[in-house]
Amino acid sequence: MSAEMTAENPYSAPGAELNGGQSDLYTPSILSFSGRIGRLRYLAYSMGTYLLLMLVMVPLVGVSALTGGEPNVSMIGMLIMGVVYISMLVAWITFAKRRLNDLNRNGWWLLLALVPFVNFLLTIYMMFFPGTDGDNRYGAVPMANTLGVQILAWMMPVLMIVGIVAAVVIPQFAGIPTQ
pLDDT digits (tens, 9 = 90+) for 84-127: 889 889 999 999 999 999 999 998 999 999 999 999 999 999 98
Tell me the domain boundaries of the chain.
34-156
**Whole-structure pTM value:** 0.72
The backbone region for 68, taken as left when phi is positive above 0, alpha when psi lies in -120 to 50, beta otherwise, is left
d(CA 102, CA 134): 10
Residue 22: per-residue pLDDT: 47
By mean pLDDT, which of 4-18, 21-35, 73-87, 158-172 is the weakest? 4-18
More confident site: 64 or 32: 32
The Cα 112–Cα 143 span in angstroms is 29
Q: Do residues 142 and 38 touch, judged by C-beta distance below 8 A?
A: yes
* Helices within the chain (DSSP H only): 2-6, 39-66, 71-102, 118-128, 147-174
Residue 115 is given by DSSP the state S
Residue type, 33: F
The pLDDT of 137-153, averaged and rounded, is 87
